[in-house]
Copies of this chain bind each other. A is one copy, B any other.
Amino acid sequence: MRPVRTVYIAAQAITPFIGKGHPDFIFKGHPDFGRKNNPTLEEQMALALNSLFDGNRLDPSHVQRGYVGNFGGELFCNQAHLGAMVSRAEPRLAGVGMSRMEAACASGGVSIVAAVDAIQAGLDVALVVGAEVQTTVKARDGADYLARAAHYESERALDDFTFPALLTRRAKAYKEAYGLSDRDLARFSVKAYSNANRNPLAHMHKAHLTLEQAEKASDENPNFLQNPELKPHLRVSDCSQVSDGAAAILLASEEGLSRLGLRPEQCVRISSYGMAANPLGMVKDFLFMDTVATAAAEALRDAALAPGDIQVAEVHDCFTIAELLMYEAVGWAQKGRGMELLNSGRTTLEGDLPVNTGGGLVGFGHPVGATGVKQAAEIFRQMKGLCGDYQISRDLGTGMTVNMGGDDRTVVSLVISNVN
C-alpha cells in the first residue's frame, strides 16, 4: 500500500526496555526495596506519551485518533480496553477516538497500518503507542499466555514454551537442509548483544555475550525446551527478552506537521506498507517465511524499491533463526544462504545493511505490543542521528521494518524514507 497523502513520522519515543525486578525500580540499597515495582502497563504508556509529547514539545491536543498495540494486557495485567487507557496516561487526549489492536507480536505493526489509513481518510495527526508489561508472572505462565498467539488447541502441547518450540522447528529443519550450526546461530546473538551494549535503553545493555558463551549450552545458557527433538536446537541466548516497555510514534500529514509546528526535514516518511496474514497453526514451509515475503514484497513494490536499496533495517528476531529466515524472505539473501550475509559483516553497525542496530528483540528486548512501534521509532532515530553510541555514521535515505506476529502468521512491513 502506497499512501496517496504523504504520511510523516513526526516524532517518536521509546521507554527503557527492562526485565523483572529492574534495579531502577527495585534498588537493593533503597529503603523501599521489595516495595518498588516495575512500572505498570498504565505507567509504561504514560512514560512513552510523556516522552513523545513533552520530550518533543508537542501539543497532544492536535491528535485526532490513536491506536494502541498490545498483546496481552488482560492476561499479564488484568487490563484490556487500552484505547480508553490512553487518556488516563495522557489526560490531554480525553475525548479522542482510540482503539487497541492485537496481532500477537505484530500488534504494533498493525496499529501503525490503521493510523496510516486514518491519515489517508483525511485526519492530520494520529498517535500510535505500543506497550507491554509481562514481568508480572512467572516465565512458564507467560509462555502459556503467549501460546494464545499460536493455534492454542493444536499447538499448545508442543512444549511448555510453545513459541520457542515453534520457531525451533525451523532451526532444526534449516540445520538438516543446509547444515546450519549452533555457532552460526550464536553469531546472531552476539551481534544483538553487542549492539545492545551500546544502547542504554536496551534490556541487555549491560549483559555481555561471547561467541563461545552463545554457542554452547551451559547452566547459564541452557537448552530449556522439554520436547526432546527440539531441545538441542535452542539455547536461552537464541531468544528475545521477556521485557516491559513502550514506544510511541506520532503520524501526521503535511497539514498535521504544520499544526504541530514541525518542518518535514525534522521527520521521516512512511513510503509504503505491506501487510499479510496466514492461518494459525498451518505453517507450510519451515525453511521459508511466506508471510514475511508477501508483506515485504508488497512494501518494496509499492515504494518502487528492490531489497538492495534498503540502507538500514529492523527485523523481527524473536529468535535467532527468525533473523536468518528474514534475510531470505525479504530478498537480501537467497534461500539457504542467509548465513553468508551475516558472515559478510554487512548487517553489523559497520556494514552497508545494518540490521537491528539497537539490539533487536534479542538484545534491545521484546515488550510484545511495543516492538512494531519501536522498530519504526528506531529507523527514525537512525535517520535523524539520535542513536548515540550505536549511530550509523553514513546518511541513511531508506529503511525498512518487518514486524511479525506468531510464527510467520501476521506480518507488517514498512518502508521509511528520510526527509532532508
Residues of B contacting A409 in the complex (Cβ-Cβ under 8 angstroms): 81, 84
Counting CB contacts under 8 A, is A185 at the interface?
no
Residues of B contacting A88 in the complex (Cβ-Cβ under 8 angstroms): 151, 279-282
Counting CB contacts under 8 A, is A352 at the interface?
no
If over half of A's interface residues share one DSSP class (helix, strand or loop), that class is named, otherwise mixed; here it is mixed
Counting CB contacts under 8 A, is A300 at the interface?
no
| Known A81-B410, A120-B117, A410-B81; contact A94-B278, beta-carbon cutoff 8 A | yes
Residues of B contacting A200 in the complex (Cβ-Cβ under 8 angstroms): none
A2 to B73, CA, bound (A): 32
Q: Mark A54-85, 1 if CB is under 8 A from B, else 0.
A: 00000000000110000111110111111111
Q: How many residues of A contact B (CB 8 A)?
A: 70
A100 to B69, CA, bound (A): 11
Q: Which of B79, B94, B99, B279 contacts A103 (CB 8 A)?
A: B99
- Contacting pair A122 B120 (CB below 8 A): yes
Counting CB contacts under 8 A, is A95 at the interface?
yes
Residues of B contacting A3 in the complex (Cβ-Cβ under 8 angstroms): 121
Counting CB contacts under 8 A, is A245 at the interface?
no
Counting CB contacts under 8 A, is A275 at the interface?
yes
Q: How far is the CB of A159 from chain B (nearest CB, A)?
A: 16
Besides A77-B152, A79-B148, 11 new A-B residue pairs in contact (Cβ under 8 A), listed by A number: A74-B75, A74-B145, A79-B153, A81-B104, A83-B405, A88-B151, A88-B281, A95-B278, A97-B276, A100-B103, A117-B118
List A residues at the B interface (Cβ < 8 Å): 1, 3-4, 40, 65-66, 71-75, 77-88, 91, 94-104, 110, 113-114, 116-118, 120-123, 145, 147-153, 156, 275-282, 291, 294-295, 405-406, 409-410, 412
